Amino acid sequence: MTAPGLNAACSTTILSAATKPAKVWAPHEQEVEILAAIGEPFSCLNAVELFADLTTQDMAALDRMSPPRLFRSGELVFSQAQPVSALFILKAGRIRIFRVAEDGKTLTIAILEPGAVFGEMLLIGQQMYDNYAEAIEDSIVCQLSAADVEEHFLSNPKVAVKISRLLGEQVARLEERLTDMALRPLSARTAATLLKLAETAPRNRFTQSQAVKLTHEQLAGLLGATREATSKTMSDFATRNLIRQGRGRIIIENSAGLRRISRTTF
Amino acid sequence: MTAPGLNAACSTTILSAATKPAKVWAPHEQEVEILAAIGEPFSCLNAVELFADLTTQDMAALDRMSPPRLFRSGELVFSQAQPVSALFILKAGRIRIFRVAEDGKTLTIAILEPGAVFGEMLLIGQQMYDNYAEAIEDSIVCQLSAADVEEHFLSNPKVAVKISRLLGEQVARLEERLTDMALRPLSARTAATLLKLAETAPRNRFTQSQAVKLTHEQLAGLLGATREATSKTMSDFATRNLIRQGRGRIIIENSAGLRRISRTTF
DNA sequence: GCCGAAGTGTGTCCTGGATTGCAGAACTCT
DNA sequence: AGAGTTCTGCAATCCAGGACACACTTCGGC
């Protein structure tokens, strides 16, 4: 239950610690909390599906080679300046992967939850990869160097197949998103995105409602829309009782209704 | 030189035959031409980069199992109704991969040239894959059944790695396209797309100009825009001498100029 | 408690493309 | 050579969202 899975249901203590953003480098007691988490018994590797087929020895070896590192909320994990040369595993916190246009506008490709693996492009010898990764909460990230990955990984056919599957899913998701972008109005995209995000989110066992922990601005980045337009859509949804709003969090009230809207074209 | 590569530079006879569309099933002499191509000495498999690492025996075996099949211009290679259950190799002609929205509007995901492999999602056990594939010229396609692929393929780690690379490139392309869609105006997207298409196209050795063989409508499908808007952009480009137009083909005259526009944001 | 920052609600104006509806030009087939 | 298709070119109108510009509120820090 403390094992970091793909959803955020893990290790509440870590998460709640990471939740408090500390923009201006204010090392206080919360930092100790986070740092404590680094030393926790659970390695970066286990419980990450990608590594499930490794031998215990390999796993241990890799684990020793992958020092956990803390990124403050707002810090860049990688960028053009510091191009990807490693495989990252997100242990705690949240990371936003995004791209930047010439004029500075950005589109968020994904928002990662603990347990996610990123920087996978390196696995396939891709140099050109102009994505940025930024911690949107204080986050703990382990990194495996390219060489280590090469040695322990690509040799193992089971892992290779798993990587293919991973990438394949990503392709499917991206194609879906692309067509949404091209031929669906903002309202539909918003509804769809909320639902998708909710899947990952923990469900309140009593009310069955689910909370998405994002600001309108972050959501807008994901939708490829402006903050204003997104806000408008959200308050529209709110008045229709499809969602409830709280500063930085959105609670899905009526997922059926959202699903209907998400299928709408006009 | 007759070997089908990833660009369209191969086997001119086949291609020119396939060029003539025959919408209403009019089996005439052109068909014989196409059918003749089926029997040609070159197998579907060799010269496709994905299979380069197979043993000659494996290759021969697979080749025997992959009957070439003719699709008329306009025919569907697969769809929801006939979901993907095989790996396809495009031997001659051109295939358009696309998705459909509820209201019937479509977005073209890719336009494939001879030598391309598609239906790769099956490789990774993806069922949900609501893409359609349609021949936009008379095309010859070989197909490998899922079982055959499984047996001869996934066992081979080199091939697995190659598949990863393939998918990885696709991910990169899609992310690029997604951000273009989200934050670039039509003109920029059009220019960028033309340039990308031109890469694949053969280059006129004298003028250095390259021709993209698409109608405005097909291009619009790729851009996620209407035919009209695309036409407008194209004639704009034409008056600026960036391109020259011909029914169903666009000749790049000034790729530097296009590149400049493709980087523009406004 | 107070202050500043971050997050949200609105309102107005303005524009890039979608929509609609034709008309002419270029091919293809017979 | 004629007839039906397929492409391409306009032009008029409409509208979802972008760009700006603020006001208000909630929160975390001091």
**Max avg pLDDT among A25-39, A45-59, B80-94:** B80-94
Cα torsion through A186, A188, A192, A194, rounded to 10: 60
pLDDT, residue B94, reads 94
**Max avg pLDDT among B16-25, B142-151, B180-189:** B180-189
pLDDT, residue B153, reads 72
Q: Which of A87, A165, A166, A178 to mutate to test the interface with B (most CBs of B within 10 A)?
A: A178
Task: Look at A81-85, B88-92, B178-182 and tell me which has the smallest mean pLDDT.
Answer: A81-85
Residue B230 scores a pLDDT above 60: yes
Greater pLDDT, A9 or A240: A240
In the predicted model, what is the mean pLDDT of residues A135-158? 83
Residue B45 scores a pLDDT above 80: no
Backbone angles phi, psi at B206, to 5 degrees: -90, -60
Q: In one letter, which amino acid is B151?
A: E
Residue A51 binned pLDDT confidence (cut-offs 50, 70, 90): confident
Tell me which residue of A135, A114, A140 sits closest to A4, measured CA to CA: A114
Q: Considering chain A, what is the average pLDDT of its residues?
A: 80
Q: Mark the nucleotides of strand C covered by protein, meaning any atom under 7 Å from a CB.
A: 5-11, 16-21, 26-30
Distance from CA of B174 to the nearest CA of A (A): 6
Residue B40 binned pLDDT confidence (cut-offs 50, 70, 90): low
In the predicted model, what is the mean pLDDT of residues B111-137? 84
Task: Look at B18-22, B106-110, B221-225 and tell me which has the smallest mean pLDDT.
Answer: B18-22
Q: Which two tokens stand for residue B106?
A: 């479509």
Tokens 């382990």 correspond to A142
Greater pLDDT, B63 or B27: B63
- In a 13 Å sphere around the CA of A23, the CA atoms on its Cβ side amount to 0
Tell me which residue of B95, B99, B103 sits closest to B76, measured CA to CA: B95
Q: Which of B129, B152, B170, B174 to mutate to test the interface with A (most CBs of A within 10 A)?
A: B174
Residue A65 binned pLDDT confidence (cut-offs 50, 70, 90): confident
Greater pLDDT, B90 or A82: B90
Residue A7 binned pLDDT confidence (cut-offs 50, 70, 90): very low
Tell me which residue of A18, A75, A10, A85 sits closest to A46, measured CA to CA: A10
Residue A37 scores a pLDDT above 90: no
Between CA B140 and CA B38 the distance in angstroms is 7
Q: Estimate in Å the CA B118 to C1' C22 gap, whole number.
A: 40
B-chain CB neighbours of A182 within 8 Å are 107, 181, 224
- By a Cβ cutoff of 8 Å, what residues of chain A touch chain B? 99, 101-103, 105, 107, 109, 120-121, 123-126, 128-129, 131, 154-155, 157, 160-161, 163-165, 167-172, 174-179, 181-184, 224, 263, 265-266
B-chain CB neighbours of A157 within 8 Å are 154-155, 157, 160
pLDDT, residue B86, reads 85
**Does at least one atom of strand C sit less than 7 Å from the CB of B225?**
yes
Residue B24 scores a pLDDT above 60: no
Q: Which two tokens stand for residue A227?
A: 């903050």
Tokens 């990662």 correspond to A112
In the predicted model, what is the mean pLDDT of residues B66-78? 89
In the predicted model, what is the mean pLDDT of residues B188-194? 97
Q: How far apart, in Å, do the first and last CA atoms of chain A sit?
A: 43
User: Distances in Å between the alpha carbon of B253 and those of A45, B195, B233, B242, B245?
Assistant: 53, 11, 15, 5, 10
User: For residue A174, what is the nearest residue in chain B, using CA coordinates?
Assistant: B174
Tell me how far apart the 2 most distant CA atoms of chain A are, in Å: 56
